[in-house]
Structure 1
Amino acid sequence: MSEDLSAGDSISESLTVDRSTLRRASLAGMIGTTLENYDFVIYGTAAALVFNKLFFPNLNPAIGILASFATYGVGFVARPLGGLFFSHFGDRIGRKWVLIGTLFLMGTATFVIGLLPTYGTVGVLAPILLTLCRLLQGFGSGAEQAGGIVLLTETAPRTKRGRYASLVYVGAALGSVLGALVWILVQLMPDDRVQSIGWRIVFLSSILVTIAAYIFRRRLRESPVFEEAKSRGKIVERERTPLGLAFRNGWRGIVRVFGINIGAIAHSYFYQVFVGSYIENDLHMPSDVVPPMLLIGGIFAMISAFTGGVLSDRFGRRPLYIVICAMLMVMPYPAFLLLHTRSVLIVGLVVVVGFIVAVEGTVGVQSAFLPELFGSRYRYTGVAIGRETSAAVGGFGPFIAQGLLAATGSFIPVVVYLMVLAAIGLVTAVWAPETRGRDLLAEADARHGDPMPAAAD
Structure 2
Amino acid sequence: MSETVAPRPDSAVLRKVAFSGLLGTVIEYYDFLLYGTMAAIVFGRLFFPGSDPVVGTIASFGTLAVGYVARPVGGIVFGHFGDRIGRKSMLIFTMTMMGLASVLIGLLPTYSAFGVGAPALLVLLRIVQGVAIGGEWAGATLMVVEHADPRRRGLWNGLLQMGSPLGSVLSTIAVALVTRLPEEQLLSWGWRLPFLFSAVLLGVGLYVRISVTESPLFEQARTAAEKPRIPLVQVLRNPGTFALACAVGIGPFALTALVSTFMITYGKAIGYATSDVVNGVLIVAVMGLVTIPLFSALSDRVGRRAVVLGGAVAIVLLAFPIYALVNAKTVALLFAGMVLGQLIQNAMYAPLGPLLSEMFGTNVRYTGVSLGYQAAALIGGGFTSLFASSVFTASGAPSSTPLAILATACGLVTLVAVWRTGETRGRDLAETTRTRTPVSG
Question: Shorter-chain TM-score category?
Answer: over 0.9
Per-residue deviation, 1:414: 2.2
5+ long unaligned stretches in structure 1: 1-7
Deviations 1:283-340 (A, max 9, x none): 1322122332222211101111101111000000112111111112123211221111
Equivalent residues in 2 for 1:21-36 (5 A)? 21-36=13-28
Per-residue deviation, 1:210: 0.8
Distance in 2 (CA, whole Å) between partners of 1:322 and 1:452 is: 15
Q: 1:402 aligns with which of 385, 389, 396?
A: 389
Report SS of the residue matched to 1:373: coil
TM-score w.r.t. the length of structure 1 is 0.92
Distance in 1 (CA, whole Å) between partners of 2:51 and 2:143 is: 45
What is the aligned partner in structure 2 of residue 251 from structure 1?
A: 239
Equivalent residues in 2 for 1:75-86 (5 A)? 75-86=67-78
Matched residues, number: 436
1:277 corresponds to 2:265:
yes
Per-residue deviation, 1:444: 5.5
Q: Which amino acid aligns with 2:403?
A: V
Per-residue deviation, 1:126: 1.6
1:320 corresponds to 2:307:
yes
Contact kept? 2:424, 2:438, Cα under 8 Å:
no
Q: 2:4 aligns with which of 11, 17, 37?
A: 11
1:387 corresponds to 2:373:
yes
Contact kept? 2:308, 2:349, Cα under 8 Å:
no
Q: 1:69 aligns with which of 61, 67, 76?
A: 61
Report SS of the residue matched to 2:413: helix
Q: Which amino acid aligns with 2:404?
A: V
Contact kept? 1:36, 1:141, Cα under 8 Å:
yes
Q: 1:294 aligns with which of 271, 281, 302?
A: 281
Distance in 2 (CA, whole Å) between partners of 1:9 and 1:29 is: 31
Deviations 1:193-235 (A, max 9, x none): 111111011111111111111111010111111112224445x
Equivalent residues in 2 for 1:93-172 (5 A)? 93-172=85-164
What is the aligned partner in structure 2 of residue 334 from structure 1?
A: 321
Contact kept? 1:145, 1:168, Cα under 8 Å:
no
5+ long unaligned stretches in structure 2: none
What is the aligned partner in structure 2 of residue 55 from structure 1?
A: 47
What is the aligned partner in structure 1 of residue 403 from structure 2?
A: 414
Distance in 1 (CA, whole Å) between partners of 2:436 and 2:433 is: 5
Contact kept? 1:263, 1:421, Cα under 8 Å:
yes
Q: Which amino acid aligns with 2:153?
A: R
1:366 corresponds to 2:352:
yes
Contact kept? 2:307, 2:347, Cα under 8 Å:
no
Q: Judging changes above 3 Å, is the alpha-carbon distance between structure 1 residues 389 and 401 closer, same or farther for their aligned structure 2 residues? A: same
Q: Which amino acid aligns with 1:279?
A: G
Contact kept? 1:166, 1:363, Cα under 8 Å:
no
1:350 corresponds to 2:342:
no
Q: CA RMSD in A?
A: 1.8
Q: Which amino acid aligns with 1:73?
A: A
Contact kept? 1:444, 1:450, Cα under 8 Å:
no
Structure 1 runs (4+) deviating above 4 angstroms are none
Per-residue deviation, 1:33: 0.7
TM-score w.r.t. the length of structure 2 is 0.95
Q: Which amino acid aligns with 1:72?
A: L
Deviations 1:243-266 (A, max 9, x none): 111112x43221111110112211
What is the aligned partner in structure 1 of residue 255 from structure 2?
A: 267
Q: Which amino acid aligns with 1:94?
A: G
Report SS of the residue matched to 2:36: helix
What is the aligned-residue identity percentage? Answer: 35
What is the aligned partner in structure 2 of residue 4 from structure 1?
A: none
Equivalent residues in 2 for 1:212-231 (5 A)? 212-231=204-223
Report SS of the residue matched to 1:16: coil
Q: Judging changes above 3 Å, is the alpha-carbon distance between structure 1 residues 384 and 191 closer, same or farther for their aligned structure 2 residues? A: same
